[in-house]
């Protein structure tokens, strides 16, 4: 079957963001849009001749068609082999693991993660490198530059490849191996947490609800939680991946995972609740009547990770993204280990993990991970929690109260203003940025500003600098507000405001979160002038 060389012209706007290229599905389906981007990836990484790639996605609309195009293009570009998840399915952490396990040269993961899916929703594609992690900024820049110059792409003219049958096929001279998407990942999980202990926990009547949100973790959770660990059938809800995620947002937060929240706050709530996102790299943890902020979850996992076999020897260090609360810093401090602060997005953790400087890392947006892969990993976090619950025999609530009593509590919330007109969002951020230097010492409402700066990250491993990573203002007494623009939205701009207040008084650890954060929320609105500039009087999502 001949390889076709198709003449094309560069396409504007193929600039990958925090995690790959994310666009409306309709944009991805425009003539040559996907093909150009895939060719730009292949060229941007120095060609794929003789290389092996992992390919899979979160099962959203267009997943299978896009995989067919990618495979035909990989063959035409001279790849030796593509390893594809059966049915085109691979969670992001499972893909990261496969890249490492099979010593592949990289992987293409088809997902727009927490963004909704369907013909009228979003689609995405990201490239992960040899270490299994998101491409570095250098590589994403190469890819982006290539999108602006490319004038042809190569594609094999052949029939569709059967993605349903496990086994080996070929496309021209390239081998395509279809693999079980769950098996290797489950084996990895078994090597990290104590499956026997967790099995006993369930056997003794422990109850759980896992909301897969109609997304990719369904098959993983069914196999691991119910089949291997013996959780009752029905533990996993919304467990069959659907093309449009049941028309929901597969974003594991109290707003979008409402079905789970209602269960966890209702009568007869199970002992433990969790949810994961579109591509399976995030997790939300809920106890009976108790939502755990991702920042607190990271702190708890750091404090107790040694209870799981893989971390018995302790942690080399931890890392959190800048807007993530400083709860984990306090735990790291007491453990005597380093705590790194990185920009938002998983790629910055990769260098620290590769260099052995950290073992755990996490973000306020419900991403947590460890050195077992180079992506955040939703189900892994849930299993580590289960391991800790099994070892301590404590409830989620008791574990958190214990953590706060020891380290203090970082009250925390994030406000999202979505689809704001881009120029207004930029105007707001620029206005605030311009006056940062004058803020120190000023009183805003009841709070005194202690420091104000724009976060810039110097990578301690490769020495690279990433500037403009968010504006942060901290106040005397442990309050902090962070402002940044989202890099994953597909319409207008999303402004994120992160609020935090540390409380160490043991008598004040059980207050209402929003009341505690009111002064810092007021200060954030005064400082940014958000209402006047954007016309928005309330956030769209509060988590």
Indicate whether 281 belongs to the interface with Co ion (CB under 5 A).
yes
Binding piece for Co ion, criterion CB under 5 A, among 49-57, 138-146, 278-286, 310-318: 278-286
- Residue 344 contact, options Co ion, ligand VG1, none, Cβ 5-8 Å cut-off depending on partner type: ligand VG1
The CB-of-487 to ligand VG1 minimum distance in angstroms stands at 4
| Closer CB to ligand VG1, 39 or 488, in the complex | 488
- Residue 496 contact, options Co ion, ligand VG1, none, Cβ 5-8 Å cut-off depending on partner type: ligand VG1
End-to-end CA distance of the chain: 52
User: How far apart are the C-alpha atoms of 94 and 375, rounded to whole Å?
Assistant: 9
- Assigned token pair, 213: 């949100």
Binding piece for Co ion, criterion CB under 5 A, among 69-77, 279-287, 314-322, 388-396: 279-287
| Closer CB to ligand VG1, 3 or 486, in the complex | 486
- Assigned token pair, 457: 């990250």
User: How far apart are the C-alpha atoms of 65 and 47, rounded to whole Å?
Assistant: 23
The residue number whose beta carbon is nearest to ligand VG1 equals: 113
The CB-of-115 to ligand VG1 minimum distance in angstroms stands at 7
| Closer CB to Co ion, 39 or 91, in the complex | 91
Task: Specify whether the CB–CB gap between 217 and 408 falls below 8 A.
Answer: no
- Residue 18 contact, options ligand VG1, Co ion, none, Cβ 5-8 Å cut-off depending on partner type: ligand VG1
User: How far apart are the C-alpha atoms of 318 and 314, rounded to whole Å?
Assistant: 11
Cβ atoms within 10 Å, residue 146: 20
- Residue 487 contact, options Co ion, ligand VG1, none, Cβ 5-8 Å cut-off depending on partner type: ligand VG1
Indicate whether 488 belongs to the interface with Co ion (CB under 5 A).
no
Indicate whether 251 belongs to the interface with Co ion (CB under 5 A).
no
Which member of 43, 58, 277, 329 binds Co ion (CB under 5 A)?
A: 277
Cβ atoms within 10 Å, residue 165: 10
Instruction: Provide CB contacts within 8 A for 79, sequence distance 6+.
Output: 48, 49, 50, 51, 52, 53, 174
- Residue 395 contact, options ligand VG1, Co ion, none, Cβ 5-8 Å cut-off depending on partner type: none
| Closer CB to ligand VG1, 488 or 534, in the complex | 488
Which member of 43, 58, 279, 416 binds Co ion (CB under 5 A)?
A: 279
Residue 422 φ/ψ, nearest 5 degrees = -55, -40
Helix axes 92-101, 183-192, angle to 10 degrees: 90
The CB-of-176 to ligand VG1 minimum distance in angstroms stands at 26
Q: Which residues bind ligand VG1 (CB under 6 A)?
A: 18-19, 113-114, 277, 281-282, 321, 344-346, 363, 365, 367, 486-488, 496
Alpha helices in 293-445, H assignment, sequence order: 294-304, 327-335, 347-354, 378-392, 396-407, 422-439
| Closer CB to ligand VG1, 36 or 365, in the complex | 365
Q: Is 355 exposed, middle or buried (0-12, 13-18, 19+ CB in 10 A)?
A: middle
The DSSP code for 247 is: G
The CB-of-464 to ligand VG1 minimum distance in angstroms stands at 18
| Closer CB to Co ion, 62 or 311, in the complex | 62
Indicate whether 375 belongs to the interface with Co ion (CB under 5 A).
no
Residue 58 φ/ψ, nearest 5 degrees = -90, 5
The CB-of-39 to ligand VG1 minimum distance in angstroms stands at 23
- Select from 65, 52, 59 the least CA-distant residue to 107: 52
Can you tell me which residue has the tokens 């209870």? Answer: 307
Identified catalytic residue from 111, 113, 413, 474? 113
- Residue 169 contact, options ligand VG1, Co ion, none, Cβ 5-8 Å cut-off depending on partner type: none
- Assigned token pair, 209: 């609800």
The CB-of-227 to Co ion minimum distance in angstroms stands at 24
Does the annotation count 113 as an active-site position?
yes
Task: Specify whether the CB–CB gap between 160 and 68 falls below 8 A.
Answer: yes
The CB-of-280 to Co ion minimum distance in angstroms stands at 7
Number of alpha carbons in the 13 Å side-chain half-sphere of residue 282: 26
| Closer CB to Co ion, 93 or 239, in the complex | 93
User: Which residues are designated catalytic?
Assistant: 113
Q: Which residues here bind Co ion, judged by CB under 5 A?
A: 113, 277, 279, 281
């Amino acid at each position: 079957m001949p390889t076709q060389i198709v003449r094309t012209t560069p396409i504007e706007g193929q600039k990958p963001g925090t995690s790959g290229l994310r666009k409306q599905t309709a944009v991805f389906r425009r003539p040559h849009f996907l093909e150009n981007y895939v060719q730009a990836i292949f060229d941007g990484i120095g060609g794929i001749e003789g290389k092996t790639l992992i390919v899979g996605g979160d099962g959203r609309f267009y997943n299978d068609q896009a995989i067919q195009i990618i495979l035909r293009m990989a063959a035409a570009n001279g790849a030796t082999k593509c390893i594809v998840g059966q049915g085109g399915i691979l969670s992001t952490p499972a893909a990261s693991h496969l890249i490492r396990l099979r010593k592949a040269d990289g992987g293409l993961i088809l997902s727009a993660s927490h963004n909704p899916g369907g013909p009228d929703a979003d689609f995405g594609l990201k490239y992960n490198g040899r270490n299994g992690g998101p491409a570095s900024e250098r590589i994403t820049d190469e890819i982006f530059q290539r999108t602006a110059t490319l004038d042809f792409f190569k594609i094999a003219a052949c029939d569709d490849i059967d993605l349903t049958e496990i086994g080996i096929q070929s496309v021209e001279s390239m081998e395509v191996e279809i693999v079980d998407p769950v098996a290797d990942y489950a084996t990895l999980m078994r090597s990290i947490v104590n499956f026997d202990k967790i099995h006993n926990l369930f056997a003794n009547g422990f109850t759980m609800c896992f909301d897969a949100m109609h997304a990719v973790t369904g098959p993983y959770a069914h196999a691991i939680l119910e089949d291997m660990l013996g959780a009752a059938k029905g533990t996993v809800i919304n467990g069959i991946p659907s093309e449009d995620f049941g028309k929901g947002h597969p974003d594991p937060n109290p707003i979008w995972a409402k079905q789970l929240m209602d269960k966890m706050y209702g009568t007869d709530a199970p002992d433990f609740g969790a949810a994961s996102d579109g591509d399976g790299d995030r997790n939300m943890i809920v106890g009976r009547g108790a939502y755990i902020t991702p920042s607190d979850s990271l702190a708890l996992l750091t404090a107790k990770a040694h209870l799981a076999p893989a971390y018995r020897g302790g942690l080399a260090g931890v890392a959190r993204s800048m807007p993530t609360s400083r709860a984990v810093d306090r735990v790291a401090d007491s453990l005597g280990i380093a705590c790194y602060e990185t920009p938002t997005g998983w790629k910055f953790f990769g260098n620290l993990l590769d260099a052995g400087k950290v073992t755990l890392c996490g973000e306020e947006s419900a991403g947590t991970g460890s050195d077992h892969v180079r992506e955040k990993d939703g189900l892994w976090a849930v299993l580590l929690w289960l391991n800790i619950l099994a070892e301590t025999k404590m409830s989620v609530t008791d574990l958190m109260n214990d953590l706060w009593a020891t380290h203090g509590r970082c009250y925390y919330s994030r406000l999202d203003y979505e689809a704001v007109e881009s120029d207004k969002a930029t105007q707001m951020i620029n206005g605030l940025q311009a006056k940062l230097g004058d803020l120190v010492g000023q009183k805003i409402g009841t709070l005194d500003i202690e420091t104000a700066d724009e976060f810039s990250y110097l990578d301690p491993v490769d020495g690279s600098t990433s500037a403009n990573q968010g504006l942060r203002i901290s106040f005397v007494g442990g309050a902090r507000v962070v402002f940044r623009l989202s890099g994953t939205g597909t319409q207008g701009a999303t402004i994120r405001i992160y609020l935090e207040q540390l409380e160490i008084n043991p008598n004040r650890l059980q207050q209402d979160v929003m009341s505690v954060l009111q002064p810092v929320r007021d200060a954030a609105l005064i400082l940014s002038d958000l209402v006047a500039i954007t016309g928005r009087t309330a956030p769209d999502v509060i988590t």
